[in-house]
Amino acid sequence: MPDPTSSNTNEELNTAKQVNLDNVGALNREQLTPQAAAEPQGHDVAGHDHAPAEGKPAGHDHHDHSHAGHSHDSGELDLDEEEEHDHDHGPAGANPYLLPGISLVLLLVGLALDHYQAGFFTGYVRPAWYGLAFVLVGWNVVKAAVLSIPSGNVFNEFLLMSLATIGAFAIGEYPEGVAVMLFYTVGELFQDAAVNRAKRSIKALLEIQATEVTVVRGGKNLVIDPKAVQVGDIMEIRPGEKVALDGTLNATAASFNTAALTGESAPQTKQPGEAVLAGMINLESLVQVTVTAGFQDTKLSKILAMVQDAVGRKAKTQQFITRFAKVYTPIVVGLATLLVLVPLLVVHDYVFRDWLYRALVFLVISCPCALVVSIPLGYFGGIGAASKAGILFKGSNFLDVLREIDTVVMDKTGTLTKGVFAVQQVQPAPGTEPAQLLRLVGALETKSTHPIARAVVAHVGEAVAGVAVENVEEIAGHGLRGRVDGRDVLAGNTKLLSKFNVGYPTEVDQVADSIVVAAIDGKYAGYLTVADAPKEDAAQAVRELKADGITKLVMLSGDKDSIVQRVAKELGITEAHGGLLPEDKARYVQQYLSEGRKLAFVGDGVNDAPVVALADVGIAMGGLGSDATIETADVVIQTDHPSKIATARRIARATHNVVWQNIWLAFAVKAVVLALGAGGLATMWEAVFADVGVALLAILNAVRIQRMKF
């Protein structure tokens, strides 16, 4: 809700209040009333530069927001459980529809008495009757208009509505004055409902944070606040409970519902040592998790900070409307004044009352409610729809930019592929049994922590149990040498075999994948290929992006070029480059940008962070991605599915279409009714439709985004 005493009300109409995670819901009803305008109270939140460190947005310096009267609270993220309405329509805790309802009854009864010309309904009774109906709904608006004057913020919607309705009373048009203010207030209530609907998907994120956690200290179970838990503590999580903090699973495997974080309904099974994130729900048995991140450093806290900060970053369209409103409002007040004064000089049978009525109609019509409310609400709806799909936009401006891109550059490992090595092929030498090769090589690889070695051990499984391994030597850049089950075994790359003068077939050098070559007792025994498999939806992502108008699709990777080219061919990507360092990736992206392309880069590793920052839109894979890349990115895909890139573009396009539909609707209707009002052909009733009616239509259109299927 904007502060009428502030000098930048129009900006506040479109800008969200940033909420400190520690203070969610801290504002009470008293701080949301006009009285608070004199004593600004709000969340002083430090700024946010694409990196919500420790769960707190930083980079946007917001003024304290005081609250007065009616306002378009299109962006404010007041997520207190009991404070759904941000407009002060009556006493603290009162039903916000009560006073407008009484006013409506008084208006309808008054109109009936006028129609039947009741004898008592004359003299002071009639204006007093309508005056009471007016005060019930108009007092806060008039008060807000008055409070805004000392700060110089004169030309706002409060002033327009106050002048028009009080002017109507001054010329005896009591029912119309009440009707304008009543419908304006009802419009505000509908706007509240629409905004609250748009907030629900984001509010749901807040509700997945656990409010207490059980930790094991000194052999005792203590139930404490998650903020008091330290890294290294052991959490105990019962079936059905939410995980409060990030950690690693102890002892046994367990299944977790991750839908709140990823949008995926299928449960995930975590093995001991694997990461378990805050917001997941334990499904089956009692488990223990070792805490690896404090409350403010969990991925969930950072996600919440990103989403809350998102509504404060304006799109170009919103910035245009903010600038437009600052110029538009004083112009229409000036035109309304001229509409009263100029005819005095040129019209022969000039009647002051008639021309004043036309000017008042002109003021009501010109109120920019539809634009000021529906445009931010449209973007807010887009961000909300994306968050439900597991896509987090850090600002509405990125919805616009993502829609305009024509080039998508993607990393390979962790972005298009699973980021997890697995044995793809076992090729024993003639005379060597596959099981024997796997058993001996797998046992030797248990002594290494290399990702490829772990992939081999995982593939072999229980077959290495009980196998004696001794005298192991790790030769840097080559592999392992050791004695396994009484036999001399070499396992590594071809350089290892050459070092020990073990001959091998020349075709082994032509294998594109990562390879583990083995020798047993000095003789070549075969090889295993280890590769990172493409994600299930990677090929679908490429097809959808091409169909969606992306004219250039590129894969850049630090992996071997032969592997990169194979994966690119498998997925249908026509341009790919491998063997790249981070600076090489940046050089390619700079080249594409210098060609005038609108570019999105998609990555997940720490080495991708500089390129993500360089692109027009940086997109990070949020599940497996590094914190540095996630914090640098403009869009975060929580599900790690590359096909969500095309989904994000569809959401961005739908949001853009709805926003511009609202803009043209508002301008077209207002232009027609303004012309009719200036010519004396439109009354206050048409003015009400042009203002409140169009605003409601625009809001209903904006809410459609939440119902769309992407």
Residues belonging to the active site? 411
470: β partners: 483
- Degrees to nearest 5, angle at CA 207 with 201 and 211: 170
Report how far apart, in Å, the C-alpha atoms of 432 and of each of 84, 411, 523 are.
72, 38, 10
Distance CA 258, CA 639 (A): 10
| Inter-CA distances, 514 with 413, 427, 452, 560, 605, Å | 14, 13, 8, 9, 20
8 Å CB contact between 413 and 557: yes
The half-sphere exposure of 529 on its side-chain side, counting CA atoms within 13 A, is: 13
From residue 571, alpha-carbon distances to 538, 542, 566, 625 in Å are: 7, 7, 9, 21
**3-state secondary structure at position 415:** coil
- Output Rg (C-alpha) for the chain, integer angstroms: 33
| Strand pairing report for 407-410 and 599-603 | parallel
655/659 Cα distance (integer angstroms): 6
Buried b (16+ CB within 10 A) or exposed e, 442-461: bbbbbbbeeebbbbbbebbe
Tokens of 31: 């701080």
Q: Which residue has the tokens 């019962």?
A: 238
What gap in Å lies between CA 486 and CA 490, rounded to an integer? 13
Whose structure tokens read 């993607």?
410
**Tokens found for residue 386:** 């994306």
* Angle (nearest 5°) at CA 504 between 498 and 507: 115
Beta-bridged to residue 577, according to DSSP, are 556
| 467 Cβ contact partners less than 8 Å away, ≥ 6 residues apart | 439, 440, 443, 484, 485
Note the Cα 83 to chain centre separation in Å: 22
Q: What is the DSSP string of 309-330?
A: HHTTS--HHHHHHHHHHHHHHH
Q: Compute the distance between CA of residue 159 and CA of residue 42 in angstroms, rounded to an integer.
A: 24
Integer Cα distance of 225 and 279 in angstroms? 15
What strands, in cross-sheet order, belong to the sheet with 268-270?
268-270, 254-257, 281-282
End-to-end CA distance of the chain: 31
H or E stretch including 518? strand 514-520
Which of 414, 405, 400 lies closest to 553, judged by CA? 405
Q: Do strands 391-393 and 635-637 pair parallel, antiparallel, or not at all (unpaired)? A: antiparallel
For residue 305, the surrounding DSSP H or E stretch is: helix 299-310
